A = this chain, B = another copy of it.
Amino acid sequence: MEIVKTIEEVRTTVKKWKIEGKSVGFVPTMGYLHQGHQSLIKRACQENEKVVVSIFVNPTQFGPNEDFSSYPRDLDRDSEVCSIAGADLIFHPETEEMYDSFACTYVNVDGLTDKLCGKSRPTHFRGVCTVVSKMFLIVNPDRAYFGQKDAQQLAVIKRMVRDLNFDIEIVGCPIIREEDGLAKSSRNTYLSVEEREAATVLNRALTQGRVLISEGEKSVDKVKNLIQRVIEAEPLARIDYIEVVDFETIEPISLLEGTVLVAVASYIGKTRLIDNFILKI
């Protein structure tokens, strides 16, 4: 496995693979890889002959008061995870390699991005869509892998790929959880012991909502209320949003039908965590 820092090196390597007729899978990440990322890389390795992982903490998707500078970084451990999972190439650029000082081009997916996480993070998805577009154009993969934990991101990227005609298959992969149900996230590392315990409330609340739906409940409000009550019972939790939306359009729905995304975001102490489930009803 090779680790490169320049766009030129990625292009050279991938072009060589393409000439050899090899398929290329791509897993874009911000590093500090956990088993969620690992599952994406493994899936990419199963479905492609070569796999590229990018590790880049992208400044443009963080808001001014968010955790860009404190976001955890550990390239040595990440390299090991990538290598064990079977990746062929890590792209680990400096910020200056990705953005020159005059950079002023942005990719916006209007409509899907002003809801859910986009409400409290107004420039987040613009940053995500722009850097993912750049990565797609640098890596030129056949398939790209995204975790369903960032469900809105997955929906936004799918829409972007369709709208801009990227010739790339977007593969969404299931959420990987800790044994007690907490969704794996690089941000879990911010949690104190007490907060770590409290954080399980998100999955517990969602699970209760899912059970209610499986018992036949059709009212979105009732499901949201149940989830809210469960989370509010946890003193360390402060809800950002609980939303039930159509998974493709991210539009709010009032009756539970179609492919539904039930998503929550909540602060646990100072750490903002997200979790969700997607259900075909």
On A, residues with C-beta under 8 Å from B are 7, 11, 99-100, 102-112, 129-130, 133-134, 137-138, 140, 159-160, 162-167, 249
Complex: A249 Cα to B105 Cα, angstroms: 13
Of B108, B112, B129, B166, the residue contacting A137 (CB under 8 A) is B166
Kindly list chain B residues whose C-beta atoms are within 8 Å of the C-beta of A108. 105-108
Given contacts A165-B7, A165-B134, A110 and B105 within 8 Å (CB-CB) = yes
Q: Smallest CB-CB separation from A111: which chain B residue?
A: B104
Instruction: Say yes or no: A105 contacts B100, CB within 8 Å.
Output: no
Q: How far, in whole Å, are A112 and B103 apart by their CA atoms in the complex? A: 11
Expressed in whole angstroms, the Cα–Cα distance for A138 and B167 within the complex equals 8
Please report the C-alpha to C-alpha distance between residue A112 and residue B109 in the assembled complex, in whole angstroms.
Answer: 20
Quick check: A249 and B107 within 8 Å, CB to CB?
no
Complex Cα distance, B112 from A162, in Å, reads: 27
Pairs A–B under 8 Å by Cβ, sample size 22: A7-B165, A11-B167, A100-B163, A102-B159, A102-B249, A104-B109, A104-B110, A104-B111, A105-B108, A105-B109, A105-B129, A105-B160, A106-B107, A106-B110, A107-B107, A130-B164, A133-B164, A134-B164, A134-B165, A137-B165, A137-B166, A140-B167
